[in-house]
Structure 1
């Protein structure tokens, strides 16, 4: 790791991420916190006053950000169309006729999150926007809805072998140890799934909370009590991470809503294109799927009698509605780029690699990945950084064989990366969960964090047990 040690700035590299988190909790303003952290990091790294706009141009002038930007915009258009056609309202009425209780509503949101397994971006937005009205009527806090949507996005995607996550993860394994091709990498990935404790337990934890097997605790308990007793799904003074254009858009007067054409057909189009392109092209074209669905839904709206001018106005309103989330994502991408430039991840690895013994390897890799992904807000970036260190070490310790140590260590990389990403205020999926549920972003992070840390503690203990007993 000598090369990695040469490119980090030591403990200074942690300052921007730490400052952003502290300021976010203190000010409750995510955009301000991220902007200050970026500016401070630029000054510490010697970029000067002009370094800030240069950082923004570098971070945002990428296909990754532009793809996510377009995805957000098209999802915003679809949600606005759902509202304008009365689709969301009618779906809510359909579910209400089944007399959904608070428990059933939460279980339905949980099921929907697992159903939309193919995209960790679509899942939290779909679950939040679809279930929001029903959850509000059941007096479920927006924080709880955001938690359910968040916990069934990345934790589910990383467990399913036919997602972009699996393709990316197996790609990192090719050429490591005895893994020489895609088939062997996929075989190893399948073996790691039962040992991805954080992802499995995160999904199960949601179901147990929904069924009241585990009672709410911490800040979430307070939020749920407020919603139940006072009918306030948001706290006083909360700033939902979604514009009023996507929460207060009324149905077009006189429209006769067709739930299949106005809701289920667009959703089926998204699922069909995303899954179909993944199966044929090995890459789920989610953004293109939403574009196609939005265009088709717009055509349907015109045939239903909604004027073209109103359709375009609704589409523009939908784009405006997701702007708060896009601002957060823009600064989060910039901070991630800054952390990469300052070598934050390499520094974290450099101060822990001397402790990596066979017995502690899965446990420490899980912790390291969790810290890196929390500090940077990216699980995929964490995988790319840690896998080249962790997997070869595990193979070396196991004599080049695919042993339990190798399987557990690779699973720890996957689970640790998801863990930090799951609860970081800088994470794109955390932002999207707040957006879909129209929750205050920091309220979502604060209420989710104790649950995520509980699951992480259990997962870490299991990795420690595997290392101590079976290695």
Structure 2
């Protein structure tokens, strides 16, 4: 994934530099220097890395195992295979901070119940994957919102359209039809136990290792940091927006949120003797190291977005579209194109970086609904990501559920195609109205 994104950046720079080697090297250096000195990009990259630290600390604290123990033995809210999957679904919807965290926690919560009720691991992976990206893209008070806000703001800064970036982002979320349909289809499939395609033949695979620790820690070691993150996002949006949440800085808010939460875990876990200072430091570094590649993907995604803008790809496609594409098909075509790119690259965020600089100029040139076209990009990016075997959320959901990646892709694909078809029809209908 890193290689494909970097190759795209290099090829684009070569084209911009008239295939001059020395000019291309100079342009590449200037491009990444510019990106790494841009405040909101640095904060977004910092957020991506620090999220890994927080997740590692929560897991090391034993809070996840404490929550599982509480739900299973004390509250007794889970008593069947359906309630087990519903619990993972609810966890996936509630935890919208970051898609990887959503998949990991939903998988960790649901896995012991799936073993108890012999639910196929592929079903749990399907639930984890189908709630993570969709809910993160609908409730954009997270890294997804920061990325999208930055991409939209860039187009506004470049004079593509005169609009308020936050208002445009909120309007586009309303048109995120794939995320909405994926959440609905997943819940219906769980509640009515609907198995279609390869899911009919998937089997539960017994494991020999124990999922829950013998002496689980308090579930508040997991709950308090998560609750704090949710609260702090709103607080920092309020502070950075001078009292107006809708005008707050998304990138600053999520960065300050994870940084504050990280410090909270230090003064919460260590004094309570949940872990030593050395353990806290080691877990922090280990978690950051695991998500460092994700930060690199983000950096290359930002780079390829800038290169695409410099190549004027959006304006070129817009000129072609004006001659051969009906305005009523524009959103649907953008959705399909975004899906193809996301499936090929395995990254919805990279797709956003590529397609938003294309979709917005096309929509403006054809006098179409810009928010609808941005919504088509978001939906297409998630749809292709769900179908791709090289997607990070696909891999993480499989790992969190003890499911083979190929098995997860095969069993999830029919449900994703149903949600994708619903989204495609929705974009066509709303284009008409």
TM over 0.5: yes
* 1:211 corresponds to 2:211: no
Contact 1:77/1:315 (8 A) holds in 2: no
- For residues 367 and 78 of structure 1, the distance between their equivalents in structure 2, rounded to whole angstroms, comes to 38
Q: 1:116 to 1:314 in 2, by over 3 A?
A: same
Q: 1:439 to 1:294 in 2, by over 3 A?
A: farther
Of 416, 420, 429, the residue aligned with 1:456 is 420
Residue 149 of structure 1 corresponds to which residue in structure 2?
A: 128
Report the secondary structure of 2:99's partner residue. coil
Contact 2:351/2:381 (8 A) holds in 1: yes
Of 81, 86, 95, the residue aligned with 2:61 is 81
- For residues 166 and 227 of structure 2, the distance between their equivalents in structure 1, rounded to whole angstroms, comes to 28
- For residues 432 and 191 of structure 1, the distance between their equivalents in structure 2, rounded to whole angstroms, comes to 30
Residue 192 of structure 1 corresponds to which residue in structure 2?
A: 172
* 1:359 corresponds to 2:357: no
Residue 68 of structure 1 corresponds to which residue in structure 2?
A: 48
* 1:265 corresponds to 2:224: yes
* 1:299 corresponds to 2:270: yes
Of 394, 399, 410, the residue aligned with 2:363 is 394
Residue 345 of structure 2 corresponds to which residue in structure 1?
A: 376
Equivalences for residues 105-254 of structure 1 within 5 A:
105-160=84-139, 162-171=141-150, 172=152, 174=156, 179-182=161-164, 185-212=165-192, 215-223=194-202, 226-227=203-204, 232=206, 250-251=213-214
RMSD: 4.6
Contact 1:365/1:413 (8 A) holds in 2: yes
1:10-62 alpha-carbon deviations (Å, 9 max, x no partner): xxxxxxx7xxxxxxxxxxxxxxxx88x89999999999xxxxxx9xxx9xx99
Contact 1:267/1:293 (8 A) holds in 2: no
- For residues 343 and 312 of structure 2, the distance between their equivalents in structure 1, rounded to whole angstroms, comes to 14
Gaps of 5+ in 2: 22-27, 241-248
Residue 5 of structure 1 corresponds to which residue in structure 2?
A: none
Q: 1:192 to 1:364 in 2, by over 3 A?
A: same
Gaps of 5+ in 1: 1-16, 18-33, 48-53, 235-243
Residue 14 of structure 1 corresponds to which residue in structure 2?
A: none
1:138-161 alpha-carbon deviations (Å, 9 max, x no partner): 323332222222222221122235
Tell me how far 1:102 sits from its aligned partner: 1.4
Tell me how far 1:365 sits from its aligned partner: 0.5
Report the secondary structure of 2:138's partner residue. coil
Q: 1:86 to 1:164 in 2, by over 3 A?
A: closer
Q: 1:292 to 1:358 in 2, by over 3 A?
A: same
Equivalences for residues 332-351 of structure 1 within 5 A:
none
- For residues 333 and 364 of structure 2, the distance between their equivalents in structure 1, rounded to whole angstroms, comes to 16
- For residues 331 and 435 of structure 1, the distance between their equivalents in structure 2, rounded to whole angstroms, comes to 21
